[in-house]
Amino acid sequence: GDSVTQMEGPVTLSEEAFLTINCTYTATGYPSLFWYVQYPGEGLQLLLKATKADDKGSNKGFEATYRKETTSFHLEKGSVQVSDSAVYFCALSDRNTGGFKTIFGAGTRLFVKA
Amino acid sequence: SQTIHQWPATLVQPVGSPLSLECTVEGTSNPNLYWYRQAAGRGLQLLFYSVGIGQISSEVPQNLSASRPQDRQFILSSKKLLLSDSGFYLCAWTLPRGELFFGEGSRLTVL
A16-65 pLDDT per residue, tens: 999 999 999 998 888 899 999 999 888 899 999 999 999 999 999 999 99
pLDDT (mean) for A84-110: 85
B17 vs B42 pLDDT, higher one: B17
Task: Provide the mean pLDDT of chain B.
Answer: 90
pLDDT (mean) for B46-72: 90
Residue B49 has pLDDT above 70, yes or no: yes
A93–B99 CB contact, under 8 Å: yes
CA distance B89 to chain A (A): 9
Q: What percent of chain B has pLDDT over 90?
A: 68
Residue A98 has pLDDT above 70, yes or no: no
Task: Provide the mean pLDDT of chain A.
Answer: 92
Residue B96 has pLDDT above 70, yes or no: no
Nearest CA to A108 out of A1, A26, A28, A24 is that of A24
What is the structure's pLDDT at B51? 87
What is the structure's pLDDT at A87? 95
Which among B43, B51, B99 has the least Cβ separation from residue A49? Answer: B99
User: What distance lies between CA A41 and its chain's CA centroid?
Assistant: 19
What is the structure's pLDDT at B98? 76
A89–B44 CB contact, under 8 Å: yes
Amino acid symbol at A71: T
Q: How confident is the model at residue A12 (pLDDT cuts 50, 70, 90)?
A: very high
Q: Does any CB of chain B come closer than 8 Å to the CB of residue A106?
A: yes
What is the structure's pLDDT at B61? 66
Residue A114 has pLDDT above 80, yes or no: yes
Grouping H, G, I as helix, E, B as strand and the rest as coil, residue B84 is helix
Which among A49, A89, A101 has the least Cβ separation from residue B43? Answer: A89
Could you tell me if A114 and A85 are in contact, meaning their C-beta atoms sit under 8 angstroms apart?
Answer: no
Q: What percent of chain A has pLDDT over 90?
A: 75
pLDDT (mean) for A107-111: 95
CA distance A37 to chain B (A): 11
